[in-house]
């Protein structure tokens, strides 16, 4: 969704390369986003290639993107907190092991 928002004129082929999925899978996902009302597809009026489209995030798509971003940040913060706690615990254990060896 971020790539679509940044470059609405990106082709599905370019988008599939950027995301690292097949063109067919990307097309399937784009169609699902269109059905959910999160992406709107528009033809370029001035383009000689009438197969070229612009992909626009709808207000629902922008809200979904914000929600996904917030969820991602919450998960990453939880991962960070868990890793920090694990490092602190391992450091305590290491100090205890060193103290018992002295």
Quote the CA–CA distance of 1 and 38 in Å, as a whole number: 9
Checking if the pLDDT of 27 tops 80, the result is yes
Which pTM does this prediction carry? 0.52
Q: What's residue 49's pLDDT?
A: 53
- Domains delineated in the chain: 2-73 (1.10.10.10)
Reply yes or no on whether the pLDDT at 86 is more than 90.
yes
Tokens coding 10? 């990106």
Residue corresponding to tokens 């602190």: 88
Q: What is the percentage of the chain residues whose pLDDT exceeds 90?
A: 17
Mean per-residue pLDDT over the chain, rounded = 83
For 7-23, how does the pLDDT look when each residue is reduced to its tens digit (9 = 90+)?
Answer: 888 888 998 899 898 88
**pLDDT of amino acid 42:** 78
How big is the CA angle at 29 (ends 19 and 3), to the nearest 5 degrees?
Answer: 40
| DSSP 8-state code for residue 21 | S
Distance (Å, whole) CA 87 – CA 85: 5
What are the φ/ψ torsions at residue 42 (nearest 5 degrees)? Answer: -130, 140
C-alpha neighbours within 13 Å on the C-beta side of residue 6: 5
Whether pLDDT at 69 is above 80: no
* CA quadruple 78, 80, 82, 85: dihedral, nearest 10: -140
Q: Please compute the mean of the pLDDT values over residues 54-81 and round it to a whole number.
A: 82
What is the pLDDT, as a whole number, of residue 92? 94
């Amino acid at each position: 969704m971020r790539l679509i928002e940044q470059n609405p004129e990106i082709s599905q082929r370019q988008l599939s390369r950027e995301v690292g999925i097949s063109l067919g899978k990307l097309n399937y996902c784009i169609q699902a986003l269109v059905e959910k009302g999160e992406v709107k597809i528009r033809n370029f009026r001035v383009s000689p290639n009438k197969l070229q489209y612009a992909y626009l995030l709808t207000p629902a798509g922008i809200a979904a993107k914000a929600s996904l971003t917030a969820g991602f940040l919450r998960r990453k913060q939880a991962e960070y907190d868990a890793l920090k706690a694990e490092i602190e615990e391992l450091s305590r254990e290491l100090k205890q092991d060193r103290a018992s060896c002295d």
